[in-house]
Amino acid sequence: MRLYIMRHGETEWNVRRLYQGHSDIPLNENGVALAEITGRGLRDIPFDLAFTSPLRRARQTAEIVLRGRDVPLAEEPKLIEIAFGVYEGCTALPTERDPHPDPNLLNFIRDPEHYVAPEGGESIPGLCMRMSAYLNSLIRRRDLQDKTILLSTHGAATCAMLNAIDPPEGFFWRGGVPYNCSYAIVDVIDGEPELVAENQICYAPA
């Protein structure tokens, strides 16, 4: 089994640095373009099937990357992003409307060990448990052992999965928040996942 774990393309909320979580925000024009470039970059990868988060930004990314191919695409609720609850639509940056945002918002990016899940939100340990359980259930599927699979998901969800495979030295975000349309490659041999590459992109970063 080989997994390509991909973060979705750019959205307007990414540009504005708003916390998205379960908010169903579509790709913006640049996000569509990045997915198209990524699809061309991965055109020789023989995907057998794909799973996507139910959120539009992830589904659109998978559909664009796989455009023109006969690759089955199924929604997988467990691939959804961490829920931010009352933080969804907020930013950690000072604004005219909110010059003193909750410092806990910034903790999510800069100090995740001290991030506290807000009302209606999911904790980082909870996300890690969810993604680890999903990954373990996927790699145990006997019918998929010889398959190449695309997983279209989100930034925090991606890091949580990779941390289950290759634990970082104390920092949830590894080298930083994954680029939009970046992907990690994971090989599964005899039921054991091995991280081959991460944060790979098919375009020049800005």
Instruction: Order across the sheet with 2-7: list the strands.
Output: 73-75, 49-52, 148-153, 2-7, 183-189, 192-200
Residue 164, classed as helix, strand or coil, is helix
Instruction: Indicate which residue of 10, 22, 81, 154 is catalytic.
Output: 81
Number of Cβ within a 10 Å radius of residue 74: 9
Active site residue 81: yes
Residue 33, classed as helix, strand or coil, is helix
Active site residue 10: no
Instruction: Indicate which residue of 8, 10, 122, 198 is catalytic.
Output: 8
Task: Determine the distance from the C-alpha atom of residue 74 to the mean position of all C-alpha atoms in its chain, rounded to a whole number.
Answer: 16
Q: Report the catalytic residues.
A: 8, 81
